Structure formats: C-alpha cells, structure tokens
Amino acid sequence: MIRFLILIFHFQSIFTLQILEIDVRQGQTKFNLTQKRVNSTFQLKILKEESSRYLLIELFVKHRSRSSPNLVLLQSYGQAPFYDLESPKKRILCDHYDINGQQQSKKYHYLQLNLDQNSGSESYLTILTNKTQNYQLVFTASHIMQCPNNCTQNGECINGTCRCNQGFLDEDCSQSAQQFLPFTIQNISILAQQYIYTTFNATSNYSLSLAFETEKTIKSKIKIQMLVSQRYNLPCDINNSYNHTLLDSKRVDIRLLQEPQLESTFGQQPPQNLLIIKLQSEEEINFKLSIDFQIHYHQDAEEMATIILVVTIILILIVALMFIYWYCFKRKNRNSSISYSYQTPSEDDMKLIHECSICLTDFIQTQDSYLQWAKTNCQHIFHKECLSKWQEYQITCPMCRKPLI
C-alpha cells in the first residue's frame, strides 16, 4: 500500500511541480515549507554566476515530536527522481540522494551539486516523508566544495568532507561516539544505542578480530552493526560491513577481512581507515570489548609486474652468458681438433723478423731458438707457444687473417 501511494504521488508531483527560484548570486537562499503529502517535487530554477561552481542544499526538519523523522532527499536532472527501497529491486533513479540521513532518521539532510555539470538540463528536487513535516530548505552557493552543516563545529572541512574531532562521527560530525584503542580491553556500556570507533592506517590486506563478552548471559537482543570506511559515515542497513544480532550468549567473536582503498579521502595525507561500531540494546548492558588487527602485506599489481620484469631480464642474461660460454668452449674444442702444419723458419727469415706480433716480445736468437718458432703458410713467423694458444680461438693468421690450415 505504501509503495502504491509513493507511485501515485510520484506521478502526481510531475504535473503539480512547484518552482523554486534560487539566485546563487546572493550567496544563500532560504525557503520555509510545510509538506503534507508523501512526495513533494520542486523544479529548481538556478540563476548562476561564473564564480559559483557548487550548490549545497540543506534541509532542516522543524518539529517538536520525539519520534524521529523518516525523510529522503533526492535530486536529478532532466526528469523527476524516483525512489522505492521497499520493492525487491530497491530502485533509486536520481543523480544525488541522501540515504544516510534517511537511514539514521536525522533532522538534517543535505546534497551537494556541481553547477558545471548538466548546466543545460532542468534540475528537480524531491522530498519524501512519512508524515506532515515542517522544514527549511537552504541553498548556499560557493566556488569551493562545502561541508554539511559546517561540520556542526565538531570537525574540519577538507575538500567538501568533514574530518571529525575526537569523539564525533557522521558526515556532519553530529554524532557523539566513544573512541576505542586497539589491542586493549575496555568496558563498554550500552543504553539503547551506542557508537564506538577506532582508527588505523593500512595499505594492504588486513583482518580485524573483535570479541564482545559479558559477565552474564544476554537475555535481550543486541544488534551489532560495523562499518570499515575512510569516511565518518555511520553503519546502517544498506552500507554495513557486518550485521549481527546477539542473543542468549556471553561472548561473540567477529572476524572481518578487508582490502582498503589506497586513495585518501583527505588529499595527500595517508589513508586512514575507521572501524565504526553501532550497538543497539533493549536494556542497559555492560560489555568487555577487545579489538586486534593483523596486517597482511602484499605486493600490488605494479610491484609484481616490476619484479616479474626484473626476474625475466636476469634469466635472459643468464641464458645469454651460458650460450656464449658454450659457443666459445665448442669453438675452442673444434680448433684444438684441427691439425696445423708449420715450417721452420730459416736463418734468413729470422734476420728479417725481430718481434712476435702475438706477445709483442723480441725474438732471442740462440743456437736452438729456431725450434721455438713457427712459420705459417702465409710466411709470417711467431713463437710456437703463442701461435698454439692463438689457434685455440682462431684459425686465421694474426697478421693477415688468412686461414692457417
């Protein structure tokens, strides 16, 4: 029935559009509105100036009831947004949406638009609610990305993202939380709802081991939701890394395996991961909580490719050296197996030659010195010992390069 009403009001809103004229040249435009139906869709008529690149849309719910509002903020270009999370396919047809605000039942919702994108298309804003709501819409233009709700004065705005101070979480740093130190055991008290978080740096695969322990058996249900993220978002039904309901037990052990994104949310600073735990209980319960981290270092794809390339080059060099050695050894054996015939130089020959061109030393003429010399077929004279060593590697004359055979 609810889905049917949403569909009816969705199509009805297309024909009963309200136009909101937003003059971003004034910096900020505010509208105080009352919504009495499920769906209200507005066509945004934006009067833009060149210096304004971003438009922050903020919605502040105004009501005095204690029940939390159930409200969704959607924006799209060209056609009205569509949202139906109750269907099996959970269809969301829009360009920007604030699901976190709806999941956390917050009184504050926001969207941030880039005015340079889709500047020629019509822009639509849809607000879905489950009951009559009084709220204020605030449109703020700026040349830089802005942070939601000015980080509630509980954090620092960096590139349009809040970096919350210690003890605060959520996109606008509005949720108080208890910081937990890893590798320690701390006592945690849960009354209705409690947020716990810890921070750690990891550029590789890692595992988280958590243990919740009580002194007595838990009789009421305790819902545990956990989220590992680089942002300060709160875990909910659509973004959690772990969801468990604890009942009739004194202890529960949880193990998470993660592979973080290496890009930092806050620019050039090293990536910081947050483990955020949401605990919900029907009664007050005291816990002992311990968290351990194990970092599993690994080589990324580029490092592995570099290692493979270096190993391949080394293997190629080894094979090349082995081939060169084999070739020289084979050639040496081939040359040594060849028989050479030399002449003994005459006395007249020795008068003309004074130096061995292989070892570059003078011939010493004695009575038997001619027996230590050799004359090739090309009429060149060398020491026999020098020529024998030469023939182990070459079969040509050292002087004229003619074959010695």
Q: How far apart are CA 30 and CA 14, in angstroms?
A: 23
Choice between 318 and 64, residue whose per-residue pLDDT is larger: 318
Name the residue among 246, 240, 181 with its Cα closest to residue 213: 246
* Percent of the chain at pLDDT exceeding 90: 4
Choice between 84 and 279, residue whose per-residue pLDDT is larger: 279
Residues 6+ apart with CB under 8 A from 167: 176, 177, 178, 179
Q: How far apart are CA 193 and CA 13, in angstroms?
A: 37
DSSP 309-320: HHHHHHHHHHHH
Q: How far apart are CA 375 and CA 343, in angstroms?
A: 5
- Cβ atoms of residues 251 and 294 within 8 Å: no
> Residue-wise over 118-150: b if at least 16 C-beta within 10 A, else e?
eeeeebbbbbbbeeebebebbbbbbeeebbbbe
Q: How far apart are CA 57 and CA 189, in angstroms?
A: 37
Name the residue among 50, 51, 33 with its Cα closest to residue 42: 33
CATH 3.30.2010.10 fits 2-146, yes or no: no
Let me know if 178 is exposed, middle or buried by CB neighbors in 10 A (0-12, 13-18, 19+): middle
Q: How far apart are CA 82 and CA 151, in angstroms?
A: 29
Residue 247 confidence (pLDDT): 64
Confidence of residue 370 (pLDDT cuts 50, 70, 90): low
Residue 66 confidence (pLDDT): 61
Overall average pLDDT of the 195-211 stretch: 73
Lowest-confidence pick of 7-21, 37-51, 218-232, 298-312? 7-21
Question: Looking at domain 177-296, which CATH architecture does it have?
Answer: Sandwich (2.60)
The CATH code for residues 338-405 is 3.30.40.10
Q: How far apart are CA 13 and CA 5, in angstroms?
A: 12
Residue 10 confidence (pLDDT): 47
At 243, list the tokens. Answer: 């969801």
* Percent of the chain at pLDDT exceeding 70: 75
| pTM for the model | 0.57
Mapped onto helix, strand or coil, the DSSP state of residue 385 is helix
Residue 318 confidence (pLDDT): 93
Average pLDDT value over all residues in the chain: 76
Alpha-carbon distances, residue 109 vs 58, 169, 221 (angstroms):
6, 15, 30
Question: In this predicted model, what pLDDT tens digit does every residue of 30-51 receive, in sequence order?
Answer: 899 888 888 888 888 887 766 7
Residue 4 confidence (pLDDT): 40
Could you identify the residue written with the tokens 């009403």? 5
Choice between 312 and 206, residue whose per-residue pLDDT is larger: 312
Residue 44 confidence (pLDDT): 87
Other CB atoms within a 10 A radius of the CB of residue 85 amount to: 16
Q: How far apart are CA 175 and CA 164, in angstroms?
A: 10
Confidence of residue 295 (pLDDT cuts 50, 70, 90): low
> Residue-wise over 194-209: b if at least 16 C-beta within 10 A, else e?
bbbbbebebeeebebe
Lowest-confidence pick of 25-29, 279-283, 356-360, 364-368? 364-368
